[in-house]
């Protein structure tokens, strides 16, 4: 466990990096300046690519962890996806998927 | 529009975000408490860093005792999408006076989506729309912060096992991924990110694939654009 100063340093670094990224476009592109086309392009296509990478990041230990926990994660992801495609309600999908996963973890890993 | 109407309108538009932030923010507070951090840290991080996905990752980085360089690089890579969100609202935020600093710092995946919807609404004037954007940002930010305190306090009192509650982050990404997939004209970027992440996760291992995956995805997307001279999709 880290001490409070180490945590504060980690939080400060996280904040500064995030704030810098949020500020960046406003530092670069003042009014009436043209945004380079390749930046516009990246801005449009990157978000769906990043979401895919983030899903895999969440599932990164599926292959190396226990078989049961891998099964629970994959099953819960599929369950969430099916609920979302069916009902098209983000909050319902997240709630249902999370409850489903918690139940699986209790049943399989208890 | 009167101020009261503007606030009401903003509340209605922000409601989906507020509900999801209350839910996920509480889960974040619970995860932080379970990992041994006081709700003061949850509140501080939620108010300043204020970016859901990375906040969850930060818990595991803190637990691993990751170096500040690792934390900085992860923050820079994971939140790089924030830079692109700002590009859509340069004019709007720049003409909001002192509020622009708040707008810039509180733009998230979800408020970005709400702002995009407001952009397409022809029934409100530009001036009103910018005030509405401010209140959407404020309500979302406050509900996220309040939820992390609630989760932090509530989480330590909860009598039953909450193992697995952090799955709600995975579920959030799955739903955003599906929504983006359905609205996308081309699926190459999503498939590219997906396959590179899976490949590098297997090749480099679960703790080292994230940064290379994002960098390689960017490179391939830009290379493909150069080669194909593709129209913006």
pLDDT digits (tens, 9 = 90+) for B214-229: 789 889 988 998 888 6
Q: What angle do CA B170, B175, B181 make, to 5 degrees?
A: 125
Rounded to an integer, what distance in angstroms lies between the CA atom of residue A105 and that of residue A100? 9
Residues A68 and A90 in one domain: yes
Phi-psi region of B77 (alpha: psi -120 to 50; beta: other; left: phi over 0): alpha
Label residue B20 by pLDDT band (50, 70, 90).
Answer: confident
Residues A56 and A45 in one domain: yes
Higher pLDDT, A15 or A35: A15
Residues A91 and A60 in one domain: yes
Chain A nearest CA to B229, separation (Å): 11
Q: Tokens 């249902």 map to which residue?
A: A96
Residues A50 and A64 in one domain: yes
Total count of domains within chain A: 2
pLDDT at B232 over 50: no
Smallest Cβ–Cβ distance between B181 and the set A21, A44, A48 belongs to A48
Task: Work out the percent of chain B whose per-residue pLDDT is above 70.
Answer: 96
Domain ranges of chain B: 3-160
Task: Work out the percent of chain B whose per-residue pLDDT is above 90.
Answer: 39
Higher pLDDT, B172 or A85: A85
Q: Which of A93-107, B54-68, B76-90 has the lowest mean pLDDT?
A: B76-90
ipTM value for the complex: 0.81
**Does A67 lie at the interface with B, CB-CB under 8 angstroms?**
no
Residues A41 and A67 in one domain: yes
Residue of B nearest to A10 (CA): B68
Tell me, rounded to whole angstroms, the distance of Cα B189 from its chain centroid. 19
Residues of B in contact with A56 (CB under 8 A): 194, 197-198, 201, 213
| Mean pLDDT, residues B48-71 taken together | 89
Label residue B210 by pLDDT band (50, 70, 90).
Answer: confident
CB contact under 8 A, A91 and B23: yes
**Does B150 lie at the interface with A, CB-CB under 8 angstroms?**
no
Residue range of the domain that includes A85: 34-109
Q: Which of A2-11, B113-122, B180-189, B197-206 has the lowest mean pLDDT?
A: B113-122
| Mean pLDDT, residues B48-58 taken together | 90
pLDDT at B55 over 80: yes
List the one residue out of B138, B139, B117 whose CA is nearest residue B129: B117
Residues A17 and A39 in one domain: no
Q: How far apart are the first and last CA of chain B?
A: 35
Rounded to an integer, what distance in angstroms lies between the CA atom of residue A5 and that of residue A84? 42
| Mean pLDDT, residues B112-128 taken together | 82
**Does B159 lie at the interface with A, CB-CB under 8 angstroms?**
no
Residues A72 and A105 in one domain: yes
Residues A42 and A95 in one domain: yes
Rounded to an integer, what distance in angstroms lies between the CA atom of residue B223 and that of residue B179? 26
| Mean pLDDT, residues B130-134 taken together | 95
Residues A22 and A43 in one domain: no
| Mean pLDDT, residues B73-80 taken together | 83
The confidence score (pLDDT) of residue B45 equals: 96
| Mean pLDDT, residues A59-71 taken together | 83
The confidence score (pLDDT) of residue B58 equals: 93
Q: What share of chain B is helix, strand, coil (3-state, %, to 5)?
A: 80, 0, 20
| Mean pLDDT, residues A54-73 taken together | 84
Residues of A in contact with B25 (CB under 8 A): none
Label residue A31 by pLDDT band (50, 70, 90).
Answer: low
> Which of A98, A100, A106 would you mutate first to test chain B, the one with the most B CBs within 10 A?
A98
pLDDT at B233 over 50: no
Residues A82 and A94 in one domain: yes
List the one residue out of B134, B118, B148, B129 whose CA is nearest residue B28: B148
| Mean pLDDT, residues A95-109 taken together | 90
Tokens representing residue B193 in the block: 């990110």
Residues of A in contact with B173 (CB under 8 A): 51, 54-55, 58
The confidence score (pLDDT) of residue B220 equals: 93
Residues A14 and A51 in one domain: no
| Mean pLDDT, residues B17-28 taken together | 85
Residues A26 and A47 in one domain: no
Smallest Cβ–Cβ distance between A49 and the set B19, B198, B217 belongs to B217
The confidence score (pLDDT) of residue A33 equals: 65
Residues of A in contact with B46 (CB under 8 A): none
**Does A71 lie at the interface with B, CB-CB under 8 angstroms?**
no
């Amino acid at each position: 466990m880290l001490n409070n100063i180490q945590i504060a340093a980690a939080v400060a670094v996280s904040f500064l990096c995030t704030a810098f990224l949020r500020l960046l476009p406003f530092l670069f592109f003042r009014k009436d300046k043209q945004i380079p086309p390749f930046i516009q392009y990246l801005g449009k296509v990157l978000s769906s690519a990043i979401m895919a990478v983030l899903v895999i990041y969440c599932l990164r230990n599926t292959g190396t962890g226990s078989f049961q926990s891998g099964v629970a994660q994959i099953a819960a992801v599929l369950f969430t996806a099916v609920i979302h495609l069916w009902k098209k309600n983000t909050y319902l999908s997240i709630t249902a998927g999370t409850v489903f996963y918690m139940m699986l973890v209790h049943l399989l890993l208890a | 529009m009167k101020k009261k109407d503007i606030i009401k309108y903003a509340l209605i538009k922000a409601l989906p975000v507020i509900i999801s932030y209350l839910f996920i923010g509480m889960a974040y507070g619970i995860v932080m408490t379970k990992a041994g951090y006081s709700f003061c840290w949850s509140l501080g991080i939620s108010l300043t860093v204020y970016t859901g996905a990375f906040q969850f990752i930060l818990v595991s980085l803190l637990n691993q005792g990751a170096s500040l360089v690792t934390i900085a690089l992860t923050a820079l890579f994971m939140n790089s999408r924030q830079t692109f969100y700002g590009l859509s609202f340069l004019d709007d935020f720049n003409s909001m006076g002192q509020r622009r600093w708040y707008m810039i710092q509180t733009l998230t995946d979800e408020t970005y989506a709400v702002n995009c919807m407001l952009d397409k609404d022809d029934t409100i004037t530009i001036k009103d729309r910018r005030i509405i954007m401010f209140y959407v940002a404020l309500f979302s930010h406050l509900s996220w912060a309040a939820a992390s305190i609630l989760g932090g306090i509530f989480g330590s009192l909860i009598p039953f096992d909450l193992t697995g509650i952090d799955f709600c982050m995975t579920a959030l990404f799955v739903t955003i991924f599906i929504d983006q997939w359905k609205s996308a004209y081309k699926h190459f970027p999503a498939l590219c990110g997906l396959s590179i992440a899976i490949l590098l996760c297997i090749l480099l291992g679960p703790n080292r694939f994230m940064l290379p995956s994002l960098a390689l995805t960017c490179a391939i997307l830009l290379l493909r654009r150069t080669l194909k001279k593709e129209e913006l999709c």
